[in-house]
Amino acid sequence: MVLVLVIGDIHVPHRAHDLPPQFKKLLVPGKIGHILSTGNLCSREIYDSLKGLASDLHVVRGDFDENPNFPETKVVTLGNLKIGLIHGHQVVPWGDRESLKIIQRQLDVDVLVSGNTHKFEAFEFENRLFVNPGSATAYSGITFDVNPSFVLMDIQGDTVIIYIYQLKGTDLKVEKMSYQKKSQ
Amino acid sequence: MCSYELRKDLFATYFLSTDRKSLFELALSSSLREFPLRGVAWKVFLNCLDKDAPVSKWKKQITHNRNRYIDFLSTHRILPHHTPDPQLNHPLSHDLEQDQNHELEKIIDQDIQRTYPELEFFRSSDVKDIMLRILFTYAKLNPELSYKQGMHEVLAPLIFILDQDKLQEQIQEEDECDSMLSLLCSPQYVEHDAFTLFSAVMEKIGPWFMSGTVSDQITEDPVHIENLKASYASSPIVRKSHHIQEDLLKNNDPELYRHLHSLGIEPQLYALRWLRLLLSREFLLEEVLVLWDAIFAYGDEAAAVNHPHMRFQILDYICLSMLTHIRALLIGADYCDCIKNLLSFPASSVSDVFFLVQDALSFINHTHHPFPSISSASTPSSSTSFSSPLSTRNDKKESTSPTDIASSSTSPVLPSSPRISNVSTSSSSPPHILQEIERRVTQNIIKPIANATSAMERQMMEKGPLFSLDKPHHDRYQQMYVEEKETNQKLIAQQTHMAKRLDRIVYSLQKELNPCFTTIPETNRDAIYVALAELKQLKDILSGSLGVPPEYLLGDSPFSHAPASAPPSISSSYSTPYSSPFSTPYSTPYSSNSTTGSSGSGSSISAPSSSSVSIPHGSTHSSTAQSQPPSIPSSASASPSGPPPAAPFSNPLPAVTSSLPAPLAPTPANVISTPASSSFPPTFSSSYPASVSLHSSTIASNASPSSSSIRFPSPSPPPPPPLPSTVTYAPQPLHFSSPVYLPPQQYPYTVAPHLQNFSASSTAGPLYSPPNFSNSPFPPATPFDSSHSNTN
């Protein structure tokens, strides 16, 4: 049971003080194996706290990140899946399926994780999985209809079970979906 | 699996009527071994089925218990991770109770995996799941006790019993008996009934698992320490273990109690496991079931309801009888050996747990016989374990009739002793006299005892399953047992007496022979030594420090065959010099023999006896500078190598050069090392030429401090290094304790390469170093060694 936390667009301290308390209660060290962060952590402290959650932390550079040394993209292999990581501000238009597909082909990954839209999305497009964990602190410059969210992926071989944690109001909602890589 | 008809009959006999006392009595006399409805019996004993109520009431009771378990199961769901709703069951959820449950489940599972790994039954995943559910449910229902390690061991035999009990196939329900049986033994409810039984047992012994956290806390504060001690002392299990040692043991076996007390052995060290697990880890499963029959059937007295340390009272007495069974092992041992024996109880020293139960009952009724005192030695050799082989041996035998054995063993031995003392003054032809002595001793002592013991053994083995005996037979059996014990005590006393007198005979013989030693021709001298050694062996057997080799029980006297060529072969065999560390001084008188006799032995190699194999080795021995003390190290080697060629001999005993060495000679894999002061050293290795071993045996026996003060023409000998005080035989009808482990460094001798094949296969590890022809590793020579050309 390889647990991978996918989180991003936290924007601390610029747009929010901290992660929501309900999320902080869930995110305790010990259970999570890897963290894939889409970027825009924006501060060293958040980076350190994520590092404390799990030692295997992968961060890509977002447009507001203070640390210029994060890479633009990253490819990580977990289980039998190759997972690509990109912040998403490079993808124009933001969140567009076809553009994301181009990135996926370029990186040659089975799962593409991107962010920037601050809106959760997870879909399977042409046999590949695209995950957008949304924003963990839920600020959006586009719309008011945002909920803080993050994603937990349980990777077992070729299968991913995705748990989506969303904060609607003050209630934590957990949803689940799954994806299986089809061998071509 | 026995037939349904039989089950029905048994059920009708023992369970139908409301008076179920016969069942309890069967349990206490260990007769429920093959009982097919043991589970039902246990339910009755533990009050899950009311023992005074008619069978019709049982239906209500048992269905009530089963439904209760089903309810418990549903409320305390054990595997919450299986709910599909992600809201409740997502990986990051850390519901505190769920976490605790998960932890508990892991702990229980760990223990379950280790339950009875040797039994197929417990490896099946169904059984493991059942155990997990039962233990989990019990832990959730009793949060203050929760699950403690060891509960799985208590549960395992219960499940085993109920599984044995269950009906394999559907039966036609024709009458009440059938319907009750099918209800009680229905296979779907094994788990439920196991839970009920387990809860009933835990209700009684649950408090024994509570140690509190006192032992975990480390503190320096003296007041706190006193409080800890006080609270610890009040813990029921500690109280119970102290009761066993301080009260029961002190009153019934003060000698053992004093010894344990002097060593400072705390009772809860060993008793904790015995009591908590109800002895399930000390014996094999089938023996544990017999013990539990008795424990459950005996029950508790009324006062035990409020006093957890008084529950299952017979368990205290069974522990006491376990202690007294190995008293001989414990009394002679130091702290380490005592602890070893107590913590891993040598179940092999108890041939049948039936005797433990009987002893316990006799302790309870104060009818137990007092124990022979061990520390005051009855023989000069002060062997510490002398009584154990005899007492254990005799305890386990049933007698044909007490009178037979008593009469046969009282045949006089000692009229020959005056004759012997007369004889010793004359030095004419001693070998004949000695042979005469042997014959008389054998006839009068060894043979009848051997016959008696073998008869008793045969009787024992003829006994079949006992549960089919009815009550009058049981009473008679019990009475016979008690009578038999008395007779055995008498036998032991007689044998001890005979041993003492034999010892005196041997001593006086040696004393008389000593001055005229040099005048006796060599061949005769050797025969005398051999005979003396033989007598000493007899004495040791009688006194119990040596066990009776199996071949003695075969019928004919082992001494009856005497090859005509005995003297020459013996002398040739004795030509082997050996300079073992502890017999260096003794090698001196023979060193001259060796140098002169080696050539002679070389020529006499083709002795007609079977020592034809041994002799060549013997002669080559003489050619090597270092040869070995065959007896003791060869015994250490415990080599299972085949017996020396027995071809020339038709008798069943292993081949040997003369009549005397026969019983001493290689019985394969026989290892003896008697207690330090025993006068008869181990000679029972098959790896060495029998004659050589005999030679050394004589020497070493002369070296033993206990017995004679035989005078060689050499200064007084230092005693041989003390041998470990355990005795091992394999295979045998007698039981001894742990095997021999001889520390290698005691025997830094060398062995000729051509002999290494014989002695190599040893369980005691390599004790031999390659032959060292250059320097003697042995202590510097005494003045008398100057004549010995082989030592440096």
**Residue B9, amino acid:** D
* Contact criterion met (CB < 8 Å) for B92 and A152: yes
pLDDT of residue B456: 61
Q: Nearest-CA distance from B96 to chain A in Å?
A: 12
Q: Nearest-CA distance from A131 to chain B in Å?
A: 18
pLDDT of residue B782: 53
Give the list of residues 6+ apart from residue B26 with CB closer than 8 angstroms, or none.
Answer: B14, B32, B35, B293, B467, B474
Spans of chain B below 50 pLDDT:
1, 80-81, 213-219, 376-428, 463-469, 555-717, 719-720, 722-748, 751, 758-766, 768-769, 772, 781, 785-792
Q: Strand, coil or helix: what is A70? A: coil
**DSSP notation for B399-462:** PS-HHHHHHHHTS--TTHHHHHHHHHH--S-HHHHHHHHHHHHIIIIIHHHHHHHHHHHHHHHH
Helix H or strand E segment including B172:
none
Which residue in B81, B92, B95, B99 has the most chain A C-beta atoms within 10 A of its own C-beta, making it the best mutation to test that interface? B92
pLDDT of residue B727: 44
Alpha-carbon distance of B284 to B286, in angstroms, equals 6
pLDDT of residue B582: 39
Tell me which residue has tokens 């071949």.
B551
Contacts of residue B94 in chain A, CB cutoff 8 Å? 26, 28
Could you tell me if A174 lies within 8 Å of chain B, comparing CB atoms?
yes
Q: How far is CA A162 from CA A110, A131, B42, in A?
A: 15, 9, 53
* B108 CB-contact burial (10 Å; exposed 0-12 / middle 13-18 / buried 19+): buried
pLDDT of residue B650: 37
pLDDT of residue B225: 59
pLDDT of residue A108: 93
Write out the two tokens for B725. 């005080």
Give the nearest partner residue to B86 out of A3, A27, A175, using CB atoms: A175
Give the nearest partner residue to A26 out of B86, B87, B92, using CB atoms: B92
Which residue in A163, A166, A167 has the most chain B C-beta atoms within 10 A of its own C-beta, making it the best mutation to test that interface? A163
State the CB neighbour count (10 A cutoff) for residue B757.
11
Spans of chain A below 50 pLDDT:
none
**Measured on CA atoms in the order B347, B353, B359, B363, is the torsion positive or negative?**
positive
Q: Shortest CA distance to B598 belongs to which of B464, B403, B789, B743?
A: B789
pLDDT of residue B35: 80
Q: Strand, coil or helix: what is A53? A: helix
pLDDT of residue B419: 42
Alpha-carbon distance of B726 to B613, in angstroms, equals 31
ipTM for the whole predicted complex goes beyond 0.85? no
pLDDT of residue A16: 86
Decide if A128 contacts A104 (C-beta within 8 A).
yes
Is the pTM here over 0.90, yes or no? no
Could you tell me if B87 lies within 8 Å of chain A, comparing CB atoms?
yes
